[in-house]
Each structure stands twice: as C-alpha cells, then as structure tokens.
Amino acid sequence: MTNQEYIRQMPKIDLHCHLDGSLSAHTIRELAKNADIALPEDLPGLMSQITVPQSCTSLSEYLSRFKLPIACLQSAENLFTASHNLLADASKENVVYMEVRFAPTLSMREKLSLDVVIDSVLQGLEAGRRQFGVAYGVILCALRNHAYEDNAQVLSAAVRYGDQGVVALDLAGDENRFPTHKYRALFKEAASKGIPFTIHAGEADGPTSVRAALSFGAKRIGHGISIKNDTDLMEFCFENNIGIELCPVSNLQTKAAASWEDYPLLTFLNRGLPVTVNTDNRTVSNTTLTREFGELDAYYDLDTKDLETLFRNAVNVSFSDYRHKQRLHETFDDFKAKTQTTNW
C-alpha cells in the first residue's frame, strides 16, 4: 500500500471546518435556487465566486469568497441542507468526526432568530450523522467585528445548547484590525460558565495574539502559525497540552505561511505539540483532508507513525467526551490492524 493510498483509506478527523466556507458547488446551486439567487451557469464562473485561486494574495482576498455562501444561509431549510450535505461530502473521504464551526449571527439577516439558526444546523448535522455515520460537534463563532452584546448572545447560546451538540465557542474574523486582547471580557464570561473555547490566533497576527488567547484560557488555537517564532510559547503549549489547529492549504493561500519550507508542521511535531491537520474551508480552499495530508506527505515524507500521531492528537484535543474519544481511538486501532494484515 502506498502512502497516498494509506492516507485515502485512513479514518480522519476535522476539528477546524467552517460551514459557510465548505459548501460544495452542488450544494450552493441547491441553496441558491431555494433563495432565488442567480448564479453563473458555467462551473468555472461559479467556482470563481466561492474558491480562491492559487495566486491568492491575502486573507482579505480569501474572505471575499464568503459573500455568496453567507447569502445562501439565510433560511432554516438552507441551513439544514448545508449542514446535512457537509457530512455527506466528508463521509466520502472517511471522516469519522467533525467539529463544524459557524457564526450564527451571520444567518440572521432575514429575521431568523439565533435559536432557529442553531437548531437548523444541529438538525441538519444530526440527519447527516444518521445517514452517513459522521459524528459531529458544533463550535459557535463570535466575530471580532461584532459588538460585545452580539457576541454575548452567541456565548449564551453556547450555554443553552451545551447538551444538544454545541461543544465550544470560537472567535473569528480579522485578527489585525481587531486584536485578540480586546475580547478578554467575553472569554472571561465563557470561562466562568464552563464553556470551552478555541480562538483564531497567530494566523494574520503574531505570537502576541496567541498569548492573549491563552491568557483567557483557550484550550486550542486556530491556525497558530506564529507560535513557531516564539520558543517560550511553544514550551507553554507543550506543557499545557494546547491543541494547534493547522490548516495547511488555507495557511499558504492566506500567506500566514510563506511556503511549504516555512511551514511549522515538523517543528511542532518534533517538539511534541498536539498539532492537528484540518481543512478550514473545504470549498474556499478547494481542499479535503485527503488533500491536506497528501500535500504534507509530498513535502515532508510523513510515515504512518506521523499520520497516526496526527489522528490521535485530534482525538485527544477534540471537544468530544471521554467515551467518544475512546471510540475514535478504537476506530484507528481497527484500521491499523486491518492495514497490517494487508502487508503495509
């Protein structure tokens, strides 16, 4: 079995996947029809609106590809369909668990309530789980460019839905214009209510952003590329088991990393950090977990031990409960036993 075939067959976990950035062209067409939104008839024309080119120059250009997907996510029906279809797509590459994140306030433009938005996504994911066998958790995103009051409502929803599939809170948006340290009050409140959280940090901003997120009590860091520039910060993340949600293809597209040579995967792995590999935005980045691992293998010649470590890191730092983590570990145990009997 080749390394690429091993990657194709192995079970996978995606801890950093944005719903709005992961709607396939087929799903976009279905949602746009429901919403009476006109689309280009040709596939290249549509893809140019929802996928960045390889020549993407910045995070700002990257974020421009969310306009159409968000416009399509303004009804309960479309939120259900989008969530259901995401798990259908993920199941095709042996994803066994996803933590799907989204900002519910972005789907309230046509007067949907916050609870209806969240209920619709949870119902779609549950239908997808039953049909395709992909387990899930939901991470609600507060947004850097939104008022504290709006983000506090998202936090309150995370509390209300904590026993219904919502597993954590996140902070997303323009890291440079809205520095992480300004959100201390929000996450102090989250910590007081026992809500775990991950924070986008160290992608468009430096180690200071990561340090702020960790000072709030973040258990994971979204992207976290700039951690590589601070040895003390790496040591802190190692000692405190801070999960790092790398999204390789996206990180190169947004220029969070300058090149594969500059990418910190091996630096983090060799230091023993609980680093994970994720998609970020399947459609915007034109990626899958199979592609992410395949690209990493092509540049770093990963072996099966590395791939297993990345899977088990994802299990260990996930926001899933202990029993589900045990089952996920057993899933890889079964895969490993099967590949050993086929002369890997």
Compute and round to an integer the Cα radius of gyration of the chain: 19
Domains of the chain: 21-340 (3.20.20.140)
DSSP state of 105: G
Torsion of CA 272, 166, 250, 256, to 10 degrees: -60
3-state SS assignment for residue 136: strand
DSSP-derived pairing of the beta strands 95-102 and 12-18: parallel
Question: Rounded distance, CA 293 to CA 139, Å?
Answer: 23
pLDDT number for residue 344: 45
pLDDT at 342: 58
Task: Write out the two tokens for 257.
Answer: 């990393």
Which helix H or strand E contains 236, and what residues bound it?
A: helix 231-239
Tens place of pLDDT per residue across the chain (344 aa): 788 999 999 999 999 999 999 999 999 999 999 999 999 999 999 999 999 988 888 777 888 899 999 999 999 999 999 999 999 999 999 999 999 999 999 999 988 999 999 999 999 999 999 999 999 999 999 999 999 999 999 999 999 999 999 999 999 998 888 999 999 999 999 999 999 999 999 988 899 999 999 999 999 999 999 999 999 999 999 999 999 999 999 999 988 899 999 999 999 999 999 999 999 999 999 999 999 999 999 999 999 999 999 999 999 999 999 999 999 999 999 999 998 765 54
Nearest-angstrom CA–CA distance, 20 and 258:
26
Type of residue numbered 296: L
Q: Which residue has the tokens 């973040």?
A: 218
DSSP characters over 242-253: -EEEE-HHHHHH
- Per the CB < 8 A criterion, the answer to whether 21 and 284 are in contact is yes
pLDDT tens for each residue of 243-288: 999 999 999 998 889 999 999 999 999 999 999 999 999 999 999 9
C-alpha 241/C-alpha 198 separation (Å) is 13
Element (H, E) at 204: none
CB of 34 closer than 8 Å to CB of 309: no
Can you read off the two tokens belonging to residue 246?
């790398």
Cβ atoms of residues 213 and 175 within 8 Å: no
295 is catalytic: no
Q: Residue 325: which of 44, 116, 333 has the closest Cα?
A: 333
Q: End-to-end CA distance of the chain: give it in Å, rounded.
A: 6
Q: Are 14 and 248 in contact (CB under 8 A)?
A: no
74-109 confidence digits (pLDDT tens):
999 999 999 999 999 999 999 999 999 999 999 999
Backbone φ and ψ of 253, nearest 5°: -65, -40
CA angle, residues 77, 82, 83, in degrees to nearest 5: 100
> Residue holding tokens 């258990």?
219
Chain center to CA of 152: 22
Quick one: which H or E segment has residue 265?
Answer: helix 265-271
Instruction: For 272-332, give the DSSP string.
Output: T--EEE--B-TTTTT--HHHHHHHHHHHH---HHHHHHHHHHHHHHSSS-HHHHHHHHHHH
Options 93, 99, 203, 292, the catalytic residue:
203
